[in-house]
Amino acid sequence: MRNRWVPAVLLAPLLLSGVAVAGAQVLSGYTVLVEAGASRDAAIAAIRSAGGTVIKENTAVGTVSARAPKTGFIQQVSASDAVFGAARDFTIEETTGATAAEPGPVADPPPAPERATDPLEEQQWGLRMVRADLARDRQLGDPRVHVGVLDSGIDGSHPDLTTRLNRGLSRNFTRDVPVVDGPCEVASCVDPVDVDDDGHGTHVAGIIAAATNGFGTAGVAPGITLVNLRATQDSGFAFLQPVVDGLTYGADIGLDVINMSFYVDPWRYNCASNPNDAPEFQTEQRTIVAAFQRALDYAHGKGVTLVSSAGNNYDDLGKPRPDTSSPNFPEGGTYPRPIDNATCLKMPAEGGHVLGVSALGPSQAKSDRSDYGVERIDLSAPGGYFKDYFGTPWYETRENRILSTYPRGASLAKGFIDADGNITPDGVKNHVVKHCSGTRCAFYTFLDGTSMAAPHVSATAALTVSQYGEADPAHPGTLTLAPDEVERVLKGTADKVPCPTPRTVSYEHTGRGPEYTATCEGDLAFNGFYGHGVVNAFAAVTRGAEFLG
């Protein structure tokens, strides 16, 4: 069986020593990217020569994690012909290296779901928009199909997720950073694989595969298996090395789909040679793009369909506005930068082999916050739009957002509920919902953004693999379908939606500034608001064979 096979992790710490650093010099964490075709040993020698100590490496993409002097290291190590570049790794502690959390117990595959209607489904307009309610009659999702949630974690105690999560395959690739994440909940600062102290990953996971169990909400693909690839921080930051490690590990264990609802911090756009950036920041951004693209290439080559949120900066990604929010970590370092579309990329949304997803409201209008544009949007999906239905009683109601699962622990830590599980005024303000059946209770919340749109596509991709996939000889007991085939099905069966009339949409009547104004380019077949259309789960599992090679 697939989940009785737990492969060796490529991220084993190396027993290598670096040169001593004299005095009380501050040491920081770095990701060093080995130049393509260069000697790994030469790169490690360059790290040592620059005063670094190697902690671990990811051999799949050629990254080496190191601890080194806080100043001057990036430029010094990047001068070596064996090194492409280096970037800061904020998840490496100054005194001890970060390690992945121990895996959970290896479990049998989750049970097949029942065909049921859950009590909160009537508030899940997104299910109906992507025709997931109709798709269930043909395909609930196969537990042999595995979807990785590269995010803040998955709450394995949630009643709608506990039977869908494979703890044995799940991993944590980061550690809590107290300066931004708050005090560590465990001594190692590496959370267990079935914990989510932020809530974002649990919300995404519920959209994909909340169980049809007669309780709470339902996912688009309630029968598939979830794998937690914890790589983002409790605070929401997504740093390079953890997300790279999560991607390559997910590829190695044979995941079918990986959902990425984030952009890689600390740069909203990674520019090759922005004149406003210091030389070491230019090197860092080139390294982020190159390392992450290697991980994307690796995952795609191993059969993973890659899905990403487009972003919530209301940008035409082919005509980006100046960036005033980078670098967003450490705090206080931001400065304005012009963004050259030809040399600046938002990762992973603008990476190769990635399906970029824009967000829609319940009226099917593009969300005011959603990024868009013919260069980067592949598909559109429900993501929520709080200000949808202007001029009606539904305007600025929580129901315009996406309802999904939320952790009890995160709800308590954020003050959304009290110790007795009662929703607080802050919880009401943040649209938290408590659902109970008998003595069992769980929490849900309404959120919006392209982070919520992407998992609708990821789940439909999983249904596609469930319907048309074949046995994977590399991973017995699982199914597989080439990501290019999945992409053709998703795009070919999506509901075509034309640009609005007029094509230029202003949101100033809702209180938004003129910078939110968006112009839709393209035609019915493909345009900048909807891409190839709104993803359609029912069409994917009933007509998808028409688009397979």
What would the pLDDT profile of 184-213 be if each residue is shown by its tens digit? 999 999 999 999 999 999 999 999 999 999
Share of the chain above pLDDT 90, in %: 90
Question: Does the N-terminal peptide bond of residue 476 adopt cis geometry, omega within 30 degrees of 0?
Answer: no
What's the average model confidence in pLDDT over 16-44? 77
Residue 107 clears pLDDT 70, i.e. is over it: no
Residue 24 clears pLDDT 50, i.e. is over it: yes
Which range has the worst mean pLDDT, 58-72, 108-122, 439-453, 478-492?
108-122
Q: For 352-400, write each residue's pLDDT tens digit.
A: 999 999 999 999 999 999 999 999 999 999 999 999 999 999 999 999 9
Start-to-end CA span in the chain (Å) = 29
Q: Sorting pLDDT into bands at 50, 70 and 90, what band is 8?
A: very low
Residue 315 clears pLDDT 60, i.e. is over it: yes
The rounded Cα 193 to chain-centroid distance in angstroms is 16
What's the average model confidence in pLDDT over 233-249? 98
Q: For 362-375, write each residue's pLDDT tens digit.
A: 999 999 999 999 99
Q: Sorting pLDDT into bands at 50, 70 and 90, what band is 115?
A: low
User: Using CB atoms within 10 A of its CB, is residue 422 exposed (0-12), middle (13-18) or buried (19+)?
Assistant: exposed
Q: Which residues contact 368 (CB under 8 A, 6 or more apart)?
A: 314, 385, 387, 507, 510, 512, 516
Distance CA 46, CA 337 (A): 32
pLDDT reported for residue 15: 29
Tell me how far CA of residue 253 lies from CA of 248, 257, 290, 342, in angstroms.
9, 12, 23, 35
**pTM score of the predicted model:** 0.93
Place of tokens 């919006």: 448
Tell me how far CA of residue 314 lies from CA of 104, 449, 507, 521, in angstroms.
39, 11, 11, 15
269: closest CA among 343, 378, 335, 333?
343
What's the average model confidence in pLDDT over 304-329? 98
Distance CA 224, CA 113 (A): 9
Single-letter amino acid, residue 357? V
Q: For 284-300, write each residue's pLDDT tens digit.
A: 999 999 999 999 999 99
Q: Sorting pLDDT into bands at 50, 70 and 90, what band is 336?
A: very high
Distance CA 483, CA 251 (A): 12
Instruction: Tokens for 437, please give them.
Output: 């059946």
Q: Which residues contact 292 (CB under 8 A, 6 or more apart)?
A: 240, 243, 244, 264, 347, 348, 351
Distance CA 274, CA 388 (A): 37
506: closest CA among 405, 322, 368?
368
Residue 5 dihedral angles phi and psi, to the nearest 5°: -110, 110
Q: Write the DSSP assignment of 284-347 as a string of letters.
A: HHHHHHHHHHHHHHHHHHTT-EEEEE--SS--BTTSPPPB-S-S-SSTT----B---TTTEE-T
309 DSSP β-pair partners: 357
Q: Which residues contact 303 (CB under 8 A, 6 or more apart)?
A: 251, 254, 256, 472, 480, 481, 482, 483
Residue 307 dihedral angles phi and psi, to the nearest 5°: -125, 135
User: Using CB atoms within 10 A of its CB, is residue 167 exposed (0-12), middle (13-18) or buried (19+)?
Assistant: buried
Q: For 424-471, write each residue's pLDDT tens digit.
A: 999 999 999 999 999 999 999 999 999 999 999 999 999 999 999 999
527 DSSP β-pair partners: 522, 531
pLDDT reported for residue 93: 81
Single-letter amino acid, residue 412? L
270 DSSP β-pair partners: 345
**HSE-CB for 112 with a 13 A CA cutoff:** 8
Q: Which helix (H) or strand (E) holds 485?
A: helix 483-493
> Between these two residues, 137 and 115, which has the higher pLDDT value?
137
424: closest CA among 438, 437, 436, 414?
414
What's the average model confidence in pLDDT over 484-497? 98
Q: What's the whole-number average pLDDT of the chain?
A: 93
Q: Contact 345/296 with Cβ under 8 angstroms? A: no
Total residue length of the chain = 549
What's the average model confidence in pLDDT over 153-162? 98
Q: Where are the alpha helices (DSSP H) in 190-313?
A: 200-209, 240-252, 279-301
318: closest CA among 334, 351, 340, 338?
340
Q: Contact 219/211 with Cβ under 8 angstroms? A: yes
Q: Contact 535/457 with Cβ under 8 angstroms? A: yes
User: CA triplet 205, 207, 364: central angle to 5 degrees?
Assistant: 145
Q: Sorting pLDDT into bands at 50, 70 and 90, what band is 114?
A: low
Instruction: Tokens for 250, please give them.
Output: 């997910």
Torsion of CA 453, 340, 323, 151, to 10 degrees: 40
